[in-house]
């Protein structure tokens, strides 16, 4: 069964909305150089290019006013010529009558917009050497600094009523080399006696993220009180420090926060975070999820102040376990799992005005939709439908808004009718780009796997696709490993960019990906080289039956677990492919598992530690380095030297092996990038080398 997805529907909304008309040949506006101008070549080419991706405005940090009448959000833009970024705060009416307005034009890059009340906005911005809290009216007038901190802060949020706030600051609790040896001020060494000395992309810097609570008096933010004073733990949770892990109660008297109060070896082997309830006036703290041994995160107080919703995973050490929606009654202290009978995840919780219903985002067959749950009956209803991803959700005074995008169009803000699911687009950040470029058709296919299951595969075609031609075709291998090939718009692994370069893209939702039930998602753990690899081959073999796919010009590409997949396929593809690209892939599972930082992940997914007897199948059979005797295909390796999840030495091992075996190979390594490639010029270099390698061997 094949289904053509008309993603152009969103583009038509973008082009036909009643915003002010603008020239197709110019993207210049009040944001000046950061908005950039399309070149004549880009206009005539009318397709995605690496350079064009960095001219997109990126919508984030959506905040709905208390009365539901207006929405704050940020737009971040980049100047590729200088590698600089800048963020502006915008406002748009929730009724969509007026177009968005830039509230922070002319001042340094701003972030973290928060409503103080319906008429005033607080936000973060530089003032001198430190980031401070600023205040302005809802129309952007009367901007002024209202904090005076010697050190910069992270995020913050205003309590309902606008009289107090929490903010984040790093607190130094551990001793550095200079603390121990003050006579060695130039020494660069770091000394550790426990694990978690580095995490994701950063070395431990002897500090911890702490939550401070401060009063707002006479329009000024006072010095805050550290509610984790002296505790050597981070809140919110590293490495992302997501402020959705912190929530105010309706009356501002309590603060719920997530913390993983473990250190060293215990921290790296466990996912056991808990939700703590802090009484602001009494200055007491209570652990409300004690005994729940997986991740507990994302607390949200009900609108009546009597309940607290949160996400909980059941299995210790399994970071991709089912995200269950729990409700905690603050009076009875009872907990109830609202989604016990629902075979899907739940995130981004919001309560209705009566505290009777919860809305959340869930994955359904490689899309992300808004759902409704009854807090009493636990009945669950689908609110939105369509081929898209909702990524954020908020609800105030009966008004619901969310951010939604597709793999062809980045996220914009939509108003949603909670009863009918009807949607109204409110922002059109990249309208001018879509006035110019063409996108390729996206097709949904269901393909039989080797064990008789139905697998959803996205097929992305080049713009102006001609079925009479034969096209080089790429198998896209997803990372995670438990991360759906959904409708997320990527600024690096961009399907439309691959299609614009003349490739058909085959993107299977193989075993181990969420949105198809927990059994499908969990199957990959302990079976990295098993059924999911066969799923990849089922997908590409099925497409090779089509007359427009050139089976003599097939490539396979992927990052992280997708990079591992490419390295494993390199020794197990039976000459299907003519070129490979692996970004930050695992080459030797023993060396990777011994050098990564969160040990719970590899311990769970690889079936134990590599020294245990008998060895798990992962180490005994599924490590790509065990199959290099069958490598026979050109391969490119890409990695970042600040990637601590899959250290860059994995890619070096693979490249050295290919070189020593006389296999055509290339290494692209970044001294200043992590598991991702985030700097504009590095990203453009990435794309040029990526397509240069594919074009060399497949065109």
Q: Which residues are catalytic?
A: 560, 643, 675
Burial of 585 (0-12, 13-18, 19+ CB in 10 A): buried
C-alpha angle 651-657-661 in degrees, rounded to nearest 5: 150
Residues 6+ apart with CB under 8 A from 631: 570, 571, 657, 658, 661, 663
Rounded CA separation 410/424 (Å): 16
Select from 592, 655, 658 the least CA-distant residue to 629: 658
Residues 6+ apart with CB under 8 A from 440: 408, 460, 461, 462, 463, 465, 496, 499, 500
Question: What angle, 0 to 180 degrees and rounded to 10, lies between the N-to-C axes of helices 561-570 and 531-543?
Answer: 70
8 Å CB contact between 549 and 473: yes
C-alpha angle 691-695-696 in degrees, rounded to nearest 5: 120
Residues 6+ apart with CB under 8 A from 337: 312, 324, 325, 326
Query: Could you identify the residue written with the tokens 């507990």?
Result: 296
Q: 597-632: string of b/e by CB count within 10 Å (b at 16+)?
A: bbbbbbbbbbbbebeeeebbebbeebbbbebbeebe
8 Å CB contact between 210 and 168: yes
Per 3-state DSSP, the chain is made up of helix, strand and coil in percentages (nearest 5) of 20, 35, 50
**C-alpha distances in angstroms, 562 versus 436, 480, 544?**
32, 8, 21
Hey, is 84 helix, strand or coil? strand
Burial of 492 (0-12, 13-18, 19+ CB in 10 A): middle
Rounded CA separation 452/301 (Å): 44
For 696, list phi and psi in degrees, rounded to 5.
-65, -40
- What the block records as the tokens of 677 is 């490639």
Sheet with 307-312, strands from edge to edge, namely 296-301, 307-312, 324-329, 335-337
8 Å CB contact between 80 and 684: yes
Q: CA gyration radius for the chain?
A: 25
Task: Label the pairing between strands 254-259 and 246-248.
Answer: antiparallel
Rounded CA separation 449/531 (Å): 9
Select from 491, 495, 490, 493 the least CA-distant residue to 505: 495
8 Å CB contact between 326 and 307: no
| C-alpha dihedral (355, 359, 360, 361), degrees to nearest 10 | -170
C-alpha angle 280-285-286 in degrees, rounded to nearest 5: 130
């Amino acid at each position: 069964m094949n289904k053509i997805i008309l993603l152009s529907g969103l583009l038509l909304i973008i082009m036909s909305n009643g915003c002010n008309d603008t020239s197709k040949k110019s993207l210049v506006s009040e944001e000046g150089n950061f908005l950039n101008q399309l070149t004549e070549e880009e206009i005539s080419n009318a397709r995605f290019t690496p350079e064009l991706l960095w001219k997109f405005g990126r919508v984030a940090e959506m905040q709905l006013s208390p009365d539901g009448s207006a929405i704050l959000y940020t737009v971040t833009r980049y100047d590729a010529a200088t590698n600089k970024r800048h963020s502006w705060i915008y406002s748009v009416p929730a009724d969509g009558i007026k177009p968005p307005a830039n509230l922070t034009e002319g001042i340094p890059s701003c972030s973290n917009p928060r409503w103080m009340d319906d008429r005033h906005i607080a936000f973060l911005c530089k003032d001198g050497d430190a980031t401070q809290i600023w205040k302005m009216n809802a129309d952007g007038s009367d901007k002024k600094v209202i904090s005076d901190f010697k050190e910069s802060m992270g995020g913050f949020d205003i309590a309902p009523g606008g009289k107090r706030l929490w903010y984040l600051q790093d607190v130094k609790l551990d001793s550095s080399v200079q603390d121990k040896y003050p006579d060695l001020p130039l020494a660069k060494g770091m000394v550790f006696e426990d694990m978690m000395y580095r995490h994701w992309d950063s070395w431990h810097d002897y500090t911890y993220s702490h939550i401070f609570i401060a009063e707002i008096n006479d329009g000024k933010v006072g010095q805050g009180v550290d509610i984790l004073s002296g505790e050597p733990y981070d809140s919110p949770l590293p490495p992302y420090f997501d402020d959705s892990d912190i929530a105010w109660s309706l009356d501002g008297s309590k603060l719920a926060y997530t913390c993983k109060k473990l250190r060293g070896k215990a921290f790296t082997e466990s996912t056991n975070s808990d939700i703590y309830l802090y009484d602001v006036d009494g200055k007491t703290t209570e652990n409300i999820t004690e005994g729940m041994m997986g991740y507990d995160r994302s607390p949200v107080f009900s609108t009546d102040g009597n309940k607290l919703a949160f996400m909980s995973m059941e299995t210790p050490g399994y970071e991709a376990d089912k995200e269950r929606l729990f409700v905690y009654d603050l009076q009875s202290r009872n907990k109830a799992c609202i989604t016990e009978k629902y075979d899907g995840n739940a995130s981004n919780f919001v309560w209705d005005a009566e505290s009777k219903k919860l809305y959340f985002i869930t994955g359904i067959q490689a899309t992300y939709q808004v759902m409704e749950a009854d807090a009493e009956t636990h009945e669950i209803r689908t609110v939105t439908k369509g081929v898209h991803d909702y990524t954020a959700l908020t609800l105030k005074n009966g008004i619901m808004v969310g951010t939604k995008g597709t793999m062809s169009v980045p996220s914009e803000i939509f108003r949603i009718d909670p009863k009918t699911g009807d949607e109204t687009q409110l922002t059109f950040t990249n309208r001018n780009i879509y006035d110019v470029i063409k996108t390729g058709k996206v097709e949904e296919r269901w393909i039989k796997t080797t064990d008789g299951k139905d697998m959803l595969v996205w097929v992305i075609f080049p713009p102006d696709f001609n079925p009479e031609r034969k096209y080089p075709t790429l198998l896209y291998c997803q990372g995670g490993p438990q991360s759906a090939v959904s409708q997320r718009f990527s600024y690096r692994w961009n399907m439309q960019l691959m299609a614009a370069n003349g490739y058909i893209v085959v993107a299977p939702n193989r075993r181990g990906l969420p949105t198809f039930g927990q059994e499908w998602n969990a199957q990959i753990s302990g079976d990295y080289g098993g059924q999911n690899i066969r799923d990849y081959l089922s997908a590409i073999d099925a497409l090779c039956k089509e007359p427009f796919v050139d089976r003599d010009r097939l490539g396979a590409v992927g990052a992280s677990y997708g990079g591992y997949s490419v390295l494993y396929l390199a020794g197990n593809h039976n000459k299907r492919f003519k070129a490979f690209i692996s970004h930050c892939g695992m080459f030797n599972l023993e060396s990777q598992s011994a050098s990564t930082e969160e040990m719970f992940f590899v311990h769970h997914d690889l079936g134990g530690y590599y020294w245990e007897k008998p060895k798990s199948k992962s180490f005994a059979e599924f490590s790509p380095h065990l199959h290099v005797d069958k490598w026979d295909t050109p391969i490119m390796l890409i990695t970042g030297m600040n990637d601590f999840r899959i250290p860059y030495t994995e890619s070096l091992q693979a490249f050295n092996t290919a070189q020593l075996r006389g296999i055509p190979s290339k290494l692209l390594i970044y001294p200043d990038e992590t598991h991702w490639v985030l700097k504009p010029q590095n990203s453009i270099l990435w794309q040029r080398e990526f397509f240069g390698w594919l074009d060399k061997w497949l065109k």
